[in-house]
């Protein structure tokens, strides 16, 4: 208990001895505030002098800077050692962690890990499907300009950029198509159908390229655009939606993040495979582009089987 001034207070309790000014000036601002609220005149006087930096401010004090050394006087006459309140509070907060909070965090992590492990088969389905999609989607998307340039037609920068913009703009309509049909068809079924349709179109495109070569660049562009639209309408939408619906609440964010991270690994793989395949054959040879198209088609068709095996039992 902290005593304020010498003598006896209005409620009969003894007060601390003062330094002659009627109040112990070693106390911090909290004690002064209590005394002033009780109407103690010395507290008001000392507060005014401390603010003005006048003679009432004790030597060595640091009022106004938040670094007071607090000397606490107890009723039994014992004095606590001065301490730096702010520094001690910060040090204590770093040293002390509420055991209940630590236990709660550990329990939450265990629940999340258990839920993810219990749904490991579904997690393999969502993560694997996202990986397979991104191998083809990012491989074609990031190197679409080189693919279109290799397919014939004008190689001027403006023409290649225009065809790439057209491919992306029309392909984006696939998202609108997915919004319209996803509730009626179902997430998993739409994903399987999208994988199948896009994979078949890529293989068809590979056949057209092998048979017709650079003689029909606009046909190549049209079929390539169709493949992109089907990917966006199917797995490029559902691989994002499915993890947010299929997992329980305690593991949803974790499993969605793991699925997305696996998908980005597929994007890295596709980004490495496509330029490697294009460069594996002689310059100007159509075989490099054929290899890219066949690779995309096979990977997407494999996504159909992966979806059926790991996610086919889902009610989505």
Domain contains 22: yes
Same domain, 182 and 287: yes
- Under the banding of pLDDT at 50, 70 and 90, the label for residue 241 is very high
Q: Which of 61, 95, 129 finishes a domain? A: 95
Residue 92 confidence (pLDDT): 56
Distance CA 121, CA 29 (A): 63
* Residue-wise pLDDT tens digits, 120-157: 999 999 999 999 999 999 998 888 878 877 777 677 88
Same domain, 232 and 145: yes
Report DSSP letters for 228-269, one per residue.
HHHHHHTHHHHHHHHHHHHS-HHHHHHHHHHHHHHHHHHHHH
What tokens were used for 313?
């039992």
Handedness of CA 77, 83, 85, 91 (dihedral sign): negative
What are the φ/ψ torsions at residue 283 (nearest 5 degrees)? -55, 130
Q: Which of 33, 60, 95 finishes a domain? A: 95
Residue 84 confidence (pLDDT): 54
Same domain, 61 and 207: no
Domain contains 205: yes
Helix count and strand count (H, E) for the chain:
12, 4
Domain contains 106: no
Same domain, 26 and 134: no
Distance CA 115, CA 253 (A): 11
Distance CA 130, CA 124 (A): 10
CA-closest candidate to residue 181, choices 115, 222, 238 = 238
Same domain, 26 and 156: no
* Residue-wise pLDDT tens digits, 195-220: 999 999 999 999 888 777 666 788 88
The boundaries of the domain holding residue 63 are: 7-95
pTM score: 0.67
Same domain, 82 and 144: no
Same domain, 259 and 168: yes
Domain contains 228: yes
Domain CATH code at residue 192: 1.20.1250.20
């Amino acid at each position: 208990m902290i005593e304020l001034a010498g003598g006896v207070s209005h409620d009969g309790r003894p007060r601390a001895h003062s330094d002659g000014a009627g109040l112990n000036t070693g106390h911090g601002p909290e004690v002064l505030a209590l005394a002033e609220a009780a109407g103690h005149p010395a507290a008001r006087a000392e507060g005014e002098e401390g603010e003005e930096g006048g003679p009432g401010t004790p030597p060595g004090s640091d009022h106004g800077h938040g670094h007071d050394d607090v000397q606490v006087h107890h009723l039994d006459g014992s004095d606590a050692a001065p301490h730096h309140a702010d520094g001690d509070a910060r040090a204590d907060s770093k040293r002390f962690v509420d055991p209940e909070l630590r236990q709660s965090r550990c329990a939450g992590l265990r629940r999340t890990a258990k839920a993810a492990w219990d749904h490991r088969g579904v997690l393999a389905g969502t993560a694997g499907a996202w990986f397979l999609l991104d191998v083809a989607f990012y491989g074609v998307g990031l190197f679409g300009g080189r693919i279109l340039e290799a397919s014939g037609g004008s190689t001027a920068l403006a023409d290649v950029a225009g065809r790439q913009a057209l491919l992306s703009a029309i392909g984006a309509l696939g998202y609108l198509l997915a919004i319209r049909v996803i509730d009626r068809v179902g997430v998993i079924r739409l994903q399987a159908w999208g994988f199948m349709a896009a994979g078949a179109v890529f293989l068809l495109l590979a056949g057209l390229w092998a048979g017709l070569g650079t003689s029909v660049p606009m046909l190549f562009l049209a079929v390539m655009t169709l493949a992109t639209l089907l990917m966006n309408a199917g797995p490029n939408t559902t691989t994002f939606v499915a993890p947010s619906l299929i997992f329980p609440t305690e593991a949803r964010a974790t499993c969605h993040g793991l699925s997305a991270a696996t998908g980005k690994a597929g994007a890295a793989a596709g980004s490495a495979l496509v330029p490697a395949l294009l460069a594996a054959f002689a310059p100007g040879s159509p075989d490099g582009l054929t290899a890219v198209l066949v690779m995309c088609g096979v990977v997407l068709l494999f996504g159909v089987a992966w979806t059926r095996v790991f996610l086919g039992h889902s009610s989505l």
